[in-house]
Structure 1
Amino acid sequence: MVDALLTPEQQKYLELARKFTREKILPVAAQYDRTGEFPWPVVEAAREIGLHCMTAPRAYGGPELDSVTISLIMEEFAYGCAGIATTLGGNGLSSYPVLIAGTEEQKKLFFGRLLAGGLGAFALTEPGAGSDAGAVSTSARREGDEYVINGTKCFITTGAMADIFIVFASTNPTMKARGLSAFIVEREREGISIGHEEDKMGIRASNTVEVRFNNVRVPADHLLGKEGEGFKIAMQTLDMARPIVGAIAVGVARAALEECIDYVKSRMDGTKPLSANQAVQFRIADMAMKVEAARLMVRRALALKEAGVPYSKESAMAKAYASDVAMEVTAEAVEIMGAVGYSKDSRVEKLMRDAKITQIYEGTNQIQRIVIANNLLRS
């Protein structure tokens, strides 16, 4: 079905992602959810059709897709499996700091790795620094022409599989958030090790681990921007990433809605299908309105980004609203489908588990409300 709000190029990528999801993700989504294994065949298949690193500039051989197009693709991937979508979106998240602050040489290094088939990881979160990025305790000490990085990161997406990291560390602990800096760190550098792997409720196809840095030496030219600019880079990155989380949430909610519609049309209530019940019809209508509203909020936030105007408030709104909708719609689908929906044989059971993380990662929805309120009350 043609979406009149999209350009022909965007429609082309939407159809490509939909076909990929139908052929490569949906058939294996339940298997990866059960096993928690990393979906290497799906990642390789995405690379083969050019959807492995969607943000990479054309100058380095990438597709350089606009943000709205990326959101369309991510919604489709998440419709198939939010865990696989999170994995395939990891290269985008780790790319944003390089796009924001990277030099020509840094971009060549980073995107060269990714476009050759590698994976990137964004390493900000720590055991004592989740929502408060200023509490990061990982340190980076300057020694001559190098920085020496020490610390532990946790909940790092694709951390065990990454070829290259973006690591946030403090170069001046007394300055708290203003002492934070960002670094490109290659996986093979001595002193990097992988710790605990999370056994998660949802997005089980996504690898989530602890990454440890023990006297890891990186050249001084691996610093992104200047010392003390890490917090700004991190916040700009999250502004860019949050609507993409919103797109993942929309994909999950849309899948739950469609599963529920199929169920109520086929489930007989006496002599009539359950879909003939007006109370059920109203619930389905409310679910559909929320999904559509969430999608439009995501697209608007990213359209503002592409126009080069401030969009931090809209980014937070899109992420918070879409992820709340994903949780509401999946829970509603489980409730309408009753025991069938609650069974692990049902797809909506997985969708409900996957939905929850969209309210948490890339900044909890409580943090999003702080961002929104600060923007509204600033003047």
Structure 2
Amino acid sequence: MAHELFDIAVVGAGPAGAVAAYAAARRGFSVALIDRHTFPRDKACGDGIGPGAVRLAQQLGLSELFSGYAPIDTVTIFGPRGTRTENAIPTIGGEPATGYVIPRLEFDNRLFRAAIAAGADDLSGTRFLEMTPCAGHRRVVLRDRSGDRRVVDARLVVGADGAYSLVRRALTGRQEPYRSRHAGLAIRAYARSPTPWASAATASLMLEFSRDLLPWYGWVFPVGEHQVNIGVGGSLGTLRERGADLPKLLDAHADAMRARGVICGELRQRRAHHLPHVAGMPRLVYPRAALIGDAASMINPVSGEGIAYAVTAAAQLVRALPARLEDDSAVADALALFEREFRARHRRQIASSRVIITLMKSRVLSAVLVRAMQRDPTVLSVLFDFGPFTASMALRALSPWGSPAAAATR
């Protein structure tokens, strides 16, 4: 059996893997981009691309990812007492912050094609089976759709194969890819929406924190003129403790949105997915291997958003690598630098996530967090970028008068 040699084998071609492959190919590395699916393929998600991910994609020369979709710069939040606030997404570094809503079927396909166009080899449609360490590289065994095995040797393996990562299992020896106490669960569907709510001129990211849902939350994101992505998500542990029924929560949320005139018609394409979050982030680097994206539990525990972490980690990992990957010590030093800098950059938000997880387990305390989001738009950076939940934010939330709202409350 022939063994193909690459500088880097990226397992998983979602946003984390595709950006890693794109950035690595642009640096001149030979890259195998591996995924068990062929593209385009669907992915259960809210379809929201937050400002952090948008900003980095633009910096990487990937602005075309957003072509044909209108930017969204407003967030609408319904609180547990029925209050409604509309706030602009806070500026980031003094620059206007906008997000997009793009179906993952389309967004991931665009990213995948960009990576292949940059020079990565297309190994989609092949399933990761196992890998073994060898002198100066790792040997990766794959199986294609015809059942034939394919062996790839790579000087670096990047595990970006999602929440149920087989690469993570191979590296850690754990059968369960993450601990349930550090995970959320969400379900999404698509529904028809009357205009003009979902039109480009009035589109907003809508978050619902009703008493019926807390400590879980609901969302409605406009995908197009007549379609929205609707879903609910929250702590996996809380769901189990309370014996809640995920599809019923989604149905109740949909009924509330119908009553507001936001959606119409039946829900379709329901899909549930796990969300391992940063409070349970594992070790990221191993001898000639690294984990990024959902495989590394890089998901925001408040919003369930992981694309910003994914693309940031991918770009940071590739940027840290030496020009040549033959030297074991140079690769090891680069990987250690990547993990050290990634954790340092996000330390405050990772610490904040532990506080937020505690808040979201309680209906009362989760309502406090929602009030903070409504009263202080800067708290939205906790959801859509890398901002921490600070003590001053908590104090303003607990204050009987709060801080002045940045937008009208209806």
**TM-score higher than 0.5 here?**
no
The higher-RCO structure (CA 8 Å, 6+ apart) is 2
Structure with a larger share of its residues in strand = 2
Larger helix fraction of residues = 1
TM-score scaled by structure 2?
A: 0.25
The TM-score with structure 1 as length reference comes to 0.27
